[in-house]
Structure 1
């Protein structure tokens, strides 16, 4: 149509090599998109294409409209998220294994916006020097990075030489501890946001990451109930 100018459908069909019925369908789609205009001259319908510059202007206007709609959506997004019922969402469970898998779980805790991790476990297993010197050193580094991000570690831990060392670093590494004695806590549980991480790094190096608000809230309430009954950590 840019070459032909205003023409009836028969001319457009002949020039394009399309059947007339298909030509009408294509022209109808272009009219709906605002690219082609239709008018009658006598008893014949003519079709004409808008000037290229007008098409550019139309696209700019549509882009502006989409941007406006996006801004409006972002404004109400928090309210929409609040309206969503989390209980109808299916829990997400991911399995991790190996050194890299354990690292991925710990790295996920650093993205916690509420700046608090509730934990249960035994530092002798958290820092498994005898099993993996590499993981042991990496976790101490992780603790420093966690503290720099302003995340507080609130832990119920088994008293041990390693937990004594962690207690001595409590201010620098934003760590608050309460203790149990002679408990068999071979896995670590981290509760943060809507997630629960269960980590076994002393032997098999495996872990589960559960993203489910009811599960996280239940374990958080359990942690808080235990916390009230346990003594503060002491050397």
Structure 2
């Protein structure tokens, strides 16, 4: 039986082992639980206290000693619901308070604003970042300059990128360098003439970020992301100007 879901609601492997041992035993002493679970007595006692705090174990007196017993497994659902509620509250606080406060204290620009990636994993990271960033932006759009020589390699690690973009209603304007390029929903395209042998390049402008992809030897992708509102704004002005001229 898989217990990933129990770990997701906040139980570690030792807690799961001891909870299951207690379910098998019924009310039991620390020594009996430790023996059944195969965990030393000291760790068993600390774990039982943690489980009691989480509401899935309780204890009761038996003579001069204390014995522990497991709550019904349905109690795990309540533990998961409490954890989900706490996570929702934390996410809302992150969104409305913590992140705005941290961004105010953030320096305008630093070496950390430039990130380098390699390979298909780096390309996929950029494409997912474009979707996530533009989906939360009121404009829900971004701009791209892409050469023909790079297009065949771009979606290799993320073949359903376009379908996901369309499903989210994200718009894109593409300046295609060289012929080709498929039509798609929420996409506008204009072409710039270029020879088929032009260098591979892909530039995505999604303020406050600009992502650039090129190919090294043997078509190995190299990726740079610049997180700078100033650079993104300048690139957007250049893009818009060229777009209007075509």
Contact residue 210 and residue 231 of structure 2 kept, 8 A: no
Q: Indicate the residue corresponding to 2:231 in structure 1.
A: 219
Q: Indicate the residue corresponding to 1:84 in structure 2.
A: 102
TM-score normalised by structure 2 residue count: 0.50
Q: Indicate the residue corresponding to 1:95 in structure 2.
A: 118
Alignment of 1:30 onto 2:69 = no
Alignment root-mean-square deviation, CA = 5.4
Structure 2: runs of 5 or more not aligned: 1-21
Cα 1:210–1:47 change in 2 (3 A) is: same
Q: How many Å apart are 1:174 and its aligned residue?
A: 0.9
**Cα distance between partner residues in 1 of 2:122 and 2:42:** 62
Relative contact order, CA 8 A, sep 6+: which one is greater?
1
**Cα distance between partner residues in 1 of 2:102 and 2:77:** 34
Q: Indicate the residue corresponding to 1:116 in structure 2.
A: 141
TM-score normalised by structure 1 residue count: 0.52
- SS of the residue 2:245 aligns to: coil
**Cα distance between partner residues in 1 of 2:210 and 2:100:** 18
- SS of the residue 1:78 aligns to: helix
Q: How many Å apart are 1:229 and its aligned residue?
A: 5.9
Structure 2 counterpart of 1:48, from 67, 79, 87: 67
**Cα distance between partner residues in 1 of 2:86 and 2:145:** 46
Q: Deviations over 1:10-56 (max 9, x none)?
A: xx7599779xxx75774465245333535485xxx312233x5x343
Contact residue 153 and residue 175 of structure 1 kept, 8 A: yes
Q: Indicate the residue corresponding to 1:153 in structure 2.
A: 173
- SS of the residue 1:56 aligns to: coil
Cα 1:142–1:31 change in 2 (3 A) is: closer
Cα 1:192–1:151 change in 2 (3 A) is: same
**Cα distance between partner residues in 2 of 1:143 and 1:32:** 44
Contact residue 191 and residue 219 of structure 1 kept, 8 A: no
